Amino acid sequence: MNILSLLPAIAAVCAITCGPAAAAQGSYPERPIRLIIPQATGGGSDTIGRYMAQRLGEALGQNIVVDNRPGAAGMLGAMMVKEASADGYTLLLCAIDTITAPIVARHKTLDGVRDFAPVTQLTQSPNIWLVGPGFPVKTMKELIAAAKAKPGAIDYASSGVGSMQHLGAELFNKMAGIQLNHVPYKGGPPGLVDVMAGRLPAILSGTQGALPHIRAGKIRPLAVTTLKRLPALPDLPTAAEATGIKDYEAANWQGLLLPAGSPAAAAEKVSVAAVRILATPETRTRLDELGYLPSGITPAQMATLMAAEKKRWTALISEAGIKAE
């Protein structure tokens, strides 16, 4: 049989077996992409999500349509992406809470690792240990000493049960051998208000909400929870520097995910574009203003990161007996 006579059949087989991946690699994206942000408009995650949506749209030659779907500690928006068609056209702006919130949830409807295809990590940002202006503690070592003198008597606020602020504080309790008392809030802003007003002594807060108040002198920062200092607050030590607890780290991060089973070529194309955007001076300047550190990793590296984060925080959640209310 002449090999030329087989070419149409070979082409047909390739079209069937290579369909979605081949299409994604060649012409993807062919229509607008939907980016679900599982937080309300105006917050830190929304700001970085909208910025990256515009820049990615320009790089990919298609509009990135932002859809804010807040609720259930980010799980409402995450569920929408989980249930979306795995065709590369529905992205989730994820965060560490995408992994941790389902672990503490009473009803296990979502797995932040298994239910998604990794794309990239966009940014990192520390949490910041803060105390009210009237609280007589000026360093992390003084906070530890005060907590050891009165176990369970010093309250701290967080943005909610199972949030990275809550988990980061419980990790600090464990590593410092103290017991600060957790007071959960429905988001970071109301907790910050109460600490600034003197109704609560301390808070572990995300950077974006805290920065304006720090710059205005309304609240006293003690340390950041990343292993490196934050360029936006270069004089503020890391918690490891301030306490000598070398391995203490509890960082927030934001990234992009697709539904599980999405074409690998689509994830790769979005990841490559995002990494290039994050490397530009314009983007780095913008992120520095917002208190973010640019990242940018491959889908494979993102998968490794997410698996490690799930293992790490599952162990702490189990040991501390943390459950959603």
Q: Which residues pair with 154 in a beta bridge?
A: none
Closest listed residue to residue 303, CA positions, set 118, 124, 123: 118
pLDDT tens track for 184-193: 988 888 999 9
Closest listed residue to residue 72, CA positions, set 26, 106, 123: 106
Q: Which amino acid is at 320?
A: A
Which percentage of the chain shows pLDDT scores above 70?
A: 92
| Predicted confidence band of residue 21 (pLDDT cuts 50, 70, 90) | very low
pLDDT tens track for 274-295: 999 999 999 999 998 888 889 9
Model-level pTM?
Answer: 0.84
SS3 166: helix
Compute CA distances 52 → 46, 127, 202, 294, 298, whole Å: 10, 22, 33, 12, 16
User: What is the pLDDT at residue 188?
Assistant: 84
Q: What residue has token string 């980016």?
A: 35
| Predicted confidence band of residue 323 (pLDDT cuts 50, 70, 90) | confident
User: What is the pLDDT at residue 74?
Assistant: 87
User: What is the pLDDT at residue 324?
Assistant: 82
What is the overall mean pLDDT for the chain? Answer: 90
Domains 30-125+251-320 and 126-243 fall in the same CATH topology: yes
The CATH architecture annotation of domain 126-243 reads 3-Layer(aba) Sandwich (3.40)
The pLDDT of 249-271, averaged and rounded, is: 97
HSE toward the beta carbon, residue 88, CA cutoff 13 A = 23
The pLDDT of 130-159, averaged and rounded, is: 96
Query: In this structure, what is the dihedral angle of CA atoms 215, 220, 223, 228, given to the nearest 10 degrees?
Result: 10
Q: Which helix (H) or strand (E) holds 252?
A: strand 251-259
The pLDDT of 28-40, averaged and rounded, is: 95
Q: How far apart are CA 42 and CA 223, in angstroms?
A: 25
pLDDT tens track for 168-178: 999 999 999 99
Closest listed residue to residue 131, CA positions, set 226, 221, 237, 250: 221
Q: How far apart are CA 120 and CA 271, in angstroms?
A: 6
User: What is the pLDDT at residue 72?
Assistant: 81
The pLDDT of 223-248, averaged and rounded, is: 94
Q: How far apart are CA 146 and CA 149, in angstroms?
A: 5
pLDDT at 16 over 80: no
The CATH architecture annotation of domain 30-125+251-320 reads 3-Layer(aba) Sandwich (3.40)
pLDDT at 9 over 70: no
Q: Which token pair is 322? A: 């943390």
283 touches 273 (CB < 8 A) = no
User: What is the pLDDT at residue 26?
Assistant: 65
The pLDDT of 269-273, averaged and rounded, is: 98
Strand blocks (E) in 88-201: 90-95, 116-131, 155-158, 181-184
The pLDDT of 253-280, averaged and rounded, is: 98
pLDDT tens track for 194-230: 999 999 999 999 898 899 999 999 999 999 999 999 9
Q: How far apart are CA 49 and CA 215, in angstroms?
A: 24
Q: How far apart are CA 158 and CA 252, in angstroms?
A: 13
Q: How far apart are CA 310 and CA 279, in angstroms?
A: 27
SS3 107: coil
User: What is the pLDDT at residue 50?
Assistant: 95
HSE toward the beta carbon, residue 120, CA cutoff 13 A = 23
pLDDT at 12 over 70: no
pLDDT at 320 over 80: yes
Domain spans of the chain, in order of start:
30-125+251-320, 126-243
The pLDDT of 60-83, averaged and rounded, is: 93
Q: Which amino acid is at 222?
A: L
Which percentage of the chain shows pLDDT scores above 90?
A: 74
pLDDT at 8 over 80: no
User: What is the pLDDT at residue 1?
Assistant: 44
* Phi-psi label, residue 266: left if phi above 0, alpha if psi -120 to 50, beta otherwise: alpha
Q: How far apart are CA 195 and CA 174, in angstroms?
A: 23
For the chain, give the number of residues: 325
The pLDDT of 114-121, averaged and rounded, is: 98
User: First CA to last CA across the chain, in angstroms?
Assistant: 71
